[in-house]
Amino acid sequence: MVMVRAFRGLRPMKEHAEMVASPPYDVLDSNEAREIVKANPMSFLRVIKPEVGLDEDVDLYSEPVYDKGASNLKQLIDDGIMVQDEKPMYYFYRQVMGDHSQVGLVATVSAEDYENNLIKRHEFTKPDKETDRVRHIMTQKAQCGPVFLTYPDVEVLNNIQKDHCLANEPFADFVSDDGIRHVFWLVCDQNIVGMIKSVFEAVPCLYVADGHHRSAAGTVVARNLRKENPDHTGKEEYNFFLAVIFPESNMKILAYNRAVEDLNALSKEEFLVRVSEKFQVSQHAGKEPKHNHSYSMYLDGEWFGLEPEEGTYPADDPVKSLDASILQENLLAPILGIEDPRTSQRIKFIGGIRGTEELEMLVDSGKFQVAFSMYPTSIEELMKVADSGNVMPPKSTWFEPKLRSGLVVHLI
């Protein structure tokens, strides 16, 4: 069983919700965030990217930055823009992007469950990024960015969500600048709160979809504060971290495409010969592959189709049978010399939200020589990797739409 817990959320007042809600901290650089805050001083970016209020040459990992985030959060509270709910509750959060709609439960989840692998991950975390998140949480005494979790559908919970959202007026309903609609409901009825908690007690595990550094940081914070508290009971707020939990059927994963700067000293003809040793190569292909274990490759103004030859990957291995692994092991490493895609400066990863036009632009500009349009990883593949205790290849999944920050905060 997993513990999915109601909490007393810190939320913007209804009239301020649209202005406060912001993109997550890791999809904008500091200059982009500064422009947003100039136009909207109420933006929650002042809390999650607090360098926007400091000199442009400030060290992003210096104490003044963390302190500024904490003071900005306090100001939102002191000014009455954000208030804390009087009793623990859950929240439902719907996002609509084009014809795709997803609804998640906003709750807190147990750091102990994360430590015990009941909240399963599929990526490594980087120590510097993890430390940065820990410092934000500790300085602000709050978790301001939710982790994106998923789980196999539970019909009774889907029905609870549908009935509640149909019967109740949302707390917030707005369309953000990127065209995504965000709808947010409060779940105040303690009978429903109890039902939701009971349903999750029968769910064997949760999966981290996005937010590995936030979940790891939340667990580090819990571990540290647990050691510091001689009266620790396990019920303290620091034992839990903020999450939005989506049923598997609601998940939308986009492709994570690749572009490489050069052909590793090969001519176009030599490169195609090498590729054809491991892949069936076809000309005049579409810009996007139609199924997994296939690729569209853009080279010299032309789209080629690639399908791996039989025996070039172990079909029963949950990691090595992923499209990203097949491409890495049969083409990127042996032909283009990209031995470690995590550290190589010659490869660029492009989220599928940008479309294949971005790949064409990169290659046509001459800055890159070849690009690969990938088929999206499935949620089933992600879960198999997590269940096996392994990790995905880097840049295997791109989740859209992104969760807005500032709609609710967990105070620890």
Q: Kindly report, residue by residue over 209-231, the tens digit of the pLDDT.
A: 999 999 999 999 999 999 999 99
CA-to-CA distance for 405 and 23, rounded, in angstroms?
6
CA-to-CA distance for 41 and 45, rounded, in angstroms?
9
CA-to-CA distance for 186 and 92, rounded, in angstroms?
7
Range 402-412 average pLDDT: 97
Question: What DSSP element (H or E) covers 182?
Answer: strand 181-187
| Beta-sheet pairing, 147-151 with 240-247 | parallel
Range 47-57 average pLDDT: 95
Q: How many CB atoms lie within 10 A of CB 227?
A: 9
CA-to-CA distance for 356 and 7, rounded, in angstroms?
42
* Closest C-alpha to 291, from 376, 233, 217: 376
CA-to-CA distance for 390 and 358, rounded, in angstroms?
31
Q: Model confidence at 18, in pLDDT bands (50, 70, 90)?
A: very high
Per residue in 77-87, pLDDT (tens digit) is 999 999 999 99
Task: Write down the mean pLDDT value for the chain.
Answer: 96
Q: At residue 12, what is the residue type?
A: P
Phi/psi region, residue 11 (left: phi>0; alpha: psi -120 to 50; beta: rest), is beta
CA-to-CA distance for 271 and 173, rounded, in angstroms?
52
Q: Model confidence at 70, in pLDDT bands (50, 70, 90)?
A: very high
* Closest C-alpha to 147, from 180, 107, 184: 107
Could you give the percent of the chain with pLDDT greater than 90?
95
Could you give the percent of the chain with pLDDT greater than 70?
100
Answer for the pair 21, 406: CB distance below 8 angstroms, yes or no: yes
pLDDT at 1: 84
CA-to-CA distance for 220 and 224, rounded, in angstroms?
6
Domain segments of the chain: what residues? 4-252+400-411, 256-375
Per residue in 161-173, pLDDT (tens digit) is 999 999 999 999 9
Q: What is the DSSP letter of 86?
A: S
Per residue in 112-127, pLDDT (tens digit) is 999 999 999 998 888 9
Q: Which residue has the higher pLDDT, 327 or 1?
A: 327
Rg (CA), the chain: 23
Q: Would the pLDDT of 259 be above 90?
A: yes
Based on DSSP, count helices (H) and strands (E) in the chain, helices before strands: 13, 21
What's the full length of the chain, in residues? 412
Range 257-280 average pLDDT: 98
pLDDT at 27: 86
Q: Model confidence at 104, in pLDDT bands (50, 70, 90)?
A: very high
DSSP string, 275-301: HHTTEEEEES--SS-SSSS-EEEEETT
pLDDT at 382: 96
Q: Would the pLDDT of 109 be above 90?
A: yes
CA-to-CA distance for 159 and 4, rounded, in angstroms?
18
Residue 83's contacts (CB-CB under 8 Å, 6 or more residues apart) are 10, 11, 13, 77
How far is CA 357 from each of CA 100, 256, 287, rounded to the nearest angstrom?
22, 14, 9
Per residue in 325-384, pLDDT (tens digit) is 999 999 999 999 999 998 999 999 998 888 899 999 999 999 999 999 999 999 999 999
- Is 256-375 in CATH node 3.30.1760? yes
Q: How many CB atoms lie within 10 A of CB 155?
A: 9
Answer for the pair 296, 303: CB distance below 8 angstroms, yes or no: yes
Q: Would the pLDDT of 190 be above 90?
A: yes
Per residue in 284-340, pLDDT (tens digit) is 999 999 999 999 999 999 999 999 999 999 999 999 999 999 999 999 999 999 999
Range 191-206 average pLDDT: 96
What's the distance, Cα to Cα, between the start and end of the chain in Å?
23
* Closest C-alpha to 322, from 150, 123, 100: 123
Q: Would the pLDDT of 405 be above 90?
A: yes
φ, ψ of residue 167 to 5 degrees: the values are -90, -15
Q: Would the pLDDT of 201 be above 90?
A: yes
pLDDT at 394: 86
CA-to-CA distance for 370 and 259, rounded, in angstroms?
6
* Closest C-alpha to 46, from 23, 79, 14, 78: 23
Residue 406's contacts (CB-CB under 8 Å, 6 or more residues apart) are 12, 20, 21, 22, 43, 44, 47, 48, 144
Q: Would the pLDDT of 238 be above 90?
A: yes
CA-to-CA distance for 236 and 223, rounded, in angstroms?
12
| Beta-sheet pairing, 302-308 with 279-283 | antiparallel
Residue with tokens 């901290």: 25
